Structure 1
Amino acid sequence: MSSSLHYEAIIIGATGAVGSNVVRALLPSAACTRITALSRRPTNLFDGLQGTEKLEIQVIDYARIEEATAAAAGSSVAFCTIGVGQSRKATAEELWRVDVEYAGAFARGATRAGVKHISLLSAVGANAASRNRYIRTKGKAEEAIIDAGIPRTSIFRPSLLVTRDIRYGVQDRLTQALFPIVSPLLPRRFHEIFDDPEHSSEEPREIIVGYSERQRLLLVAFTERPPKVRIISAR
């Protein structure tokens, strides 16, 4: 049962680059008492981690996302990090089904479960009126989440996801290598957030590079402790 000091969470997309890190942040958190992860298939991604006794991975048919989510009564926080890994290789129908229909069904189910706060992983520039298929689809996904009517909705629009693992072959390897170099030169919304593995032994930490209002280069180290973000340093 959730309270003002403790909460139960439900997540879809827990095996992805972002979703898996959300789960890793929630597992050791004393405030989070239960995590329900909806998945298409079994996973051992979190085996051996602290706090796995409060993690329940439910293998479901994604055609029944709304019903499965609604059954997680008691959850007050929801995370939607589902998405097509390589969107450029997906058909328009596949992209719409995963990013809009599945996300919308998850949000509607979360409403029925009594969720008070939902967070959506979107994308930089998301716009339902865009001519770009990917950007338009992400904008429609945001609308689907908002339309669910959950009291508090947080939408995150990251740029390129820079991860420790190369997930999609040679092109991904080149992109991951070049983006940190060009990132500081891009508009702020495209600035990179990447892992800080050397200082993440006890908690996952990230670093973002950007500019201050006075156009001074900034390096900020932070960690997420849902529902808060702690700034470790800013230089």
Structure 2
Amino acid sequence: MSNATKIIMLGATGAVGNHAAIKLANIPAVKQLTLLGRRPAENVVGESIIQHQIDIFSPTSYEPFIAGHDTAICALGVGQPSKMSQQEFIKIDKDAVLDFAFACKKAGVTHFELLSSVGVSPSSSSFYLRTKGELEQGLKELGFERLSLFHPSMIMTPTNRYGLSQALTLSVMPLLDPLLCGSLNKFRSISAEKLGNAMAINLLQNSRSIAVDDLYWSDFMALSEPLLAV
């Protein structure tokens, strides 16, 4: 296990981030879990929890809270990118995340973890994947001692949160998953709970001696299945 005991997090109100925060709140080795967000994560409780309501677009609103943390997790993201302009998407999914990461680096955070997406690339023809790829490139350039990039495909939630498109995903992916074998298994779906648990556990594990850790479906499953010894 890593000696990381103070974790700061952005995005604990989202489906995946919320599960990660709940998991971390119940691990005794986590001495402090500081949650930053536009609203409180109401179902995350515990002696280690500190919450601050901030403006995610204004680093000065949260920079004072970062000092003393060694690890950061960012699960901030847009649930339905098609429902907003490209400029708004960039502002939330790229610019706000890079601002947070820069503030963390400046404050001495050594391990930064990001909820990203499968298929991202700064040269992708897809606007969504290209923006995410540019974000990852920017994070790499900051030079964290350890950077963990989670690349899920479809994220499954217990209920339909976004209408017809998600309804189709929730019904079709369980049928497609068994067909995605070998190198294609990175495109398998995963539940928000398992992914959140994997992100939490990864924060507390020793580095695999690589600066940039790219994680996919098989990694999520390996991390989320075993019980973490604490």
Encode CA deviations 1:79-133: one digit per residue, 9 max, x unaligned. 0111111012221101111111011001101112211100111100000011100
2:185 to 167, 180, 188: 188
RMSD: 2.4
1:44 deviation in Å? 1.6
Q: Does 2:174 align with 1:176?
A: no
What letter matches 2:174 in structure 1?
P
Q: Does the aligned pair in 2 maintain the 1:19–1:81 contact within 8 Å?
A: yes
Structure 2, gaps ≥5 residues long: 206-222
Partner amino acid, structure 2, of 1:20:
N
8 Å CA contact 1:104, 1:148 repeated in 2: no
Deviation at 1:69, TM superposition (A): 3.8
Match of residue 136, structure 1, among 124, 130, 133: 130
How many residues matched? 204
Q: Secondary structure at the match of 2:148?
A: strand
Contact 2:9–2:73 (Cα < 8 Å) also in 1: yes
Instruction: Please state which structure has a larger fraction of its residues in strand.
Output: 1
| CA offsets 1:186-232 (integer angstroms, 9 cap, x no match) | 3222012226xxxxxxxx6x39xxxxxxxxxxxxxx89534233643
Distance 1:224 1:37 in 2: 14
Instruction: Check conservation: 2:4, 2:71, Cα contact below 8 A.
Output: no
Partner SS state of residue 119, structure 1 = strand
Counterpart CA distance in 1 for 2:57 and 2:89 is 15
* Alignment CA distance shift 1:230-1:178 (3 Å): closer
Counterpart code for 1:192: S
Q: Determine which structure has greater relative contact order: mean sequence separation of CA pairs < 8 Å that are 6+ residues apart, divided by chain length.
A: 2
Q: CA deviation at 1:174?
A: 2.3
Task: Normalising by structure 1, report the TM-score.
Answer: 0.79
Question: In 2, distance between residues paired with 1:223 and 1:36?
Answer: 16
Query: Which aligned pairs between 1:71-150 and structure 2 lie closer than 5 A?
Result: 71-150=65-144
Structure 1 gap segments, 5+ residues each: 196-203, 208-221
Question: 1 CA distance for matches of 2:127 and 2:224?
Answer: 35
After TM superposition, list the pairs within 5 Å mapping 1:28-107 onto structure 2: 28-46=26-44, 49=45, 51=46, 53-65=47-59, 68-69=62-63, 71-107=65-101
Structure 2 residue matching 1:153: 3-state secondary structure? strand
TM-score by length of 2: 0.80
2-structure distance, mates of 1:230, 1:163: 16
More helix by share: 2
| CA 45–170 in structure 1, closer or farther in 2 if over 3 Å, else same | farther
Aligned counterparts of 1:148 and 1:98: Cα–Cα separation in 2 = 19
Check the 8 A contact 1:66/1:105 in 2, yes or no.
Answer: no
Q: Distance in 1 between matches of 2:148 and 2:157?
A: 22
User: Percent identity at matched positions?
Assistant: 33
**Does the CA-based 8 Å contact 2:72-2:111 persist in structure 1?**
yes
